[in-house]
Amino acid sequence: MIDFDFKYKSTFEFIQKKFSTKPDLAIILGSGLGDFADSFKNSSTIFTSDIPSYPHSTVIGHKGAIALVNYAGKNVILFSGRIHFYEGYKLSQCLLPIHLIKELNCDKLILTNAAGGINKNFIPGDLMLASSFNGFGIKKEFAELFGVGSDSAVNNFRNLPAESLNLKIKSSAEEEKIIIKEGVYWFTKGPSYETPSEVRMIKKFGGDAVGMSTVHEAFYSALLGIQTSSISCITNFASGISKQKLSHFEVTETASRIKSKFEVLLKSIIKSL
């Protein structure tokens, strides 16, 4: 079991000196969605490469920056650059941003990601609100790292995703006339995309979209008592759904194409808090 407070003491101290204001909301920005942070003028930004012991972001579409912005009277901390398993990092390193959010006394989190669509009703460019999460292997690693098994932990997981936050997201989407679909987000470690047979299996187990992040972050956030929701940008059809070859370029290109819709929705959600 890991002691985050001990291992990342210098990291927390650095962040708290830079961001002394309590955030009302935290948002982790997925592949190709990091430009959202650039839409704010009154922001305070630090690059993760300057933060002690903070893992470097190595993926295109994840620039590696944390910004504290104020919008509609709300303080929001934005993570532009996720830490992934497939970059060679451990589970504890991938969960560091979540622990930072807790250290800043933030009690609401929206996870965003780029995902491959499995549900036949999804097309690239759709937004999906997670109704639940799943993925092989991650629960075992999570339990080994944190010794999860207590009644309190189980009760926290029952509140995942946070119903009240999901309702605000759906209400904001309706207000802005943005169609947001719902479904189960399925996690795989990567770095390779799923095979067509894996996608067929995930579909049989109830997965609507698949990606390489988010689930472990959502689990840990819920364990810490943070209200947590997730929005996926369906950037491509999952393997075998269409004949087109998968590529990270397609992921970032689709995310860029719908970024204005994404920004409108997120800003509306912030206003509603």
239 pLDDT above the threshold of 70: yes
- Confidence band (pLDDT; 50, 70, 90) for 249? low
The pLDDT score that the predictor gives to residue 71 is 94
Which of 209 and 238 is assigned the larger pLDDT? 209
CB neighbours of 213 closer than 8 A, spacing ≥ 6? 30, 82, 84, 111, 113, 187
251 pLDDT above the threshold of 80: no
Angle subtended at Cα 233 by Cα 229 and Cα 238, rounded to the nearest 5 degrees: 115
**Mind listing the domains of the chain with CATH numbers?**
4-272 (3.40.50.1580)
d(CA 262, CA 231) in angstroms, rounded, equals: 10
- Confidence band (pLDDT; 50, 70, 90) for 61? low
Which of 82 and 118 is assigned the larger pLDDT? 118
CA 124 to chain centre: 18
- Confidence band (pLDDT; 50, 70, 90) for 246? low
What SS3 state is found at 259? Answer: helix
68 pLDDT above the threshold of 90: yes
Minimal CA–CA distance to 142: which of 172, 206, 182, 187?
A: 187
Q: Helices marked H in 104-195 — which ranges?
A: 138-146, 151-158, 163-175
The pLDDT score that the predictor gives to residue 138 is 73
Return the minimum-mean-pLDDT range out of 57-66, 114-123, 135-144, 159-168: 135-144
pTM confidence score = 0.92
- Confidence band (pLDDT; 50, 70, 90) for 94? very high
The pLDDT score that the predictor gives to residue 113 is 93
pLDDT in tens, 183-233: 999 999 888 888 999 999 999 999 999 999 999 999 899 989 999 999 999
pLDDT in tens, 105-154: 999 999 999 899 999 999 999 999 999 999 877 767 777 677 665 555 55
The pLDDT score that the predictor gives to residue 151 is 57
The pLDDT score that the predictor gives to residue 153 is 58
Angle subtended at Cα 144 by Cα 59 and Cα 27, rounded to the nearest 5 degrees: 40
Which of 16 and 253 is assigned the larger pLDDT? 16
Average pLDDT taken over every residue of the chain: 88
The pLDDT score that the predictor gives to residue 12 is 94
Is the Cβ–Cβ distance between 115 and 210 less than 8 Å? yes
The pLDDT score that the predictor gives to residue 233 is 92
234 pLDDT above the threshold of 70: yes
